[in-house]
Amino acid sequence: MKNRNFNIGLVVILALSFMSFTVLKEKAINIEESQISWKGYKVTGQHEGTINLKSGTLIFDGKTLTGGNVVMDMNTINTTDLEGEYKGKLDGHLKSADFFGVENHPTASLKITTVEGKNGKYNVTADLTIKDITNIITFNMYTKDNSATAFVKIDRTKFDIKYGSSSFFDNLKDKAIYDEFDLNVTLKF
């Protein structure tokens, strides 16, 4: 009987010891203070704007990033380098089926699957879903205090966004839109 109680006690101590080494903490992203800005390029120039987050969390083991996810509200695509009629036209076109098709795809999401690194500098692999199409992307992410930043380059054609792409259409000349666009991300938590 004494031996059995000793074994149970030993199992409990070992279980508690292992649990103390894997304390994962999920931190909610403050969507009001976080910011995502985008920049798209064409032969004759570029356009830029913002998009709002709908929700998100980052997961840490102590101070080390281990995972997370964000959901973007595609209805909030906003061009910031134009005003008036031209801004309205571009915002509408980006929301249309030619680009992000927000009527049928109101959100896009990113789920971190692998994180390598430490001390606030990470190489992140994630599943990015746009228009219900998921592709793996990699990027660097930096964390400090209650903030995370990343610069992400995305090939829109991998998400069936081919409008104006010289990779799919000939003779576009100065009407061509480059396949890649940039996201600059600052997450507050």
pLDDT higher than threshold 80 for residue 5: no
pLDDT higher than threshold 70 for residue 4: no
Rounded to a whole number of angstroms, the distance between the first and last alpha carbons of the chain is: 51
8 — pLDDT class (breaks 50, 70, 90) = low
In a domain, 15, yes or no: no
In a domain, 1, yes or no: no
Question: Measured between alpha carbons, how far is 21 from 166 in angstroms, rounded to an integer?
Answer: 52
Q: Residue 119 maps to which CATH number?
A: 2.40.128.110
Whether the model pTM is above 0.95: no
Q: Tell me the percentage of the chain whose pLDDT exceeds 90.
A: 87
What SS3 string covers 50-63? EEEEEEEEEEEECC
24 — pLDDT class (breaks 50, 70, 90) = confident
pLDDT higher than threshold 60 for residue 11: no
Q: How many structural domains does the chain have?
A: 1
In a domain, 114, yes or no: yes
In a domain, 119, yes or no: yes
Q: Which residues span the domain enclosing 37?
A: 24-188
In a domain, 9, yes or no: no
Q: What is the pLDDT of residue 15?
A: 55
Say if residue 32 is exposed, middle or buried (CB neighbours under 10 Å; 0-12, 13-18, 19+).
exposed
In a domain, 8, yes or no: no
In a domain, 179, yes or no: yes
In a domain, 7, yes or no: no
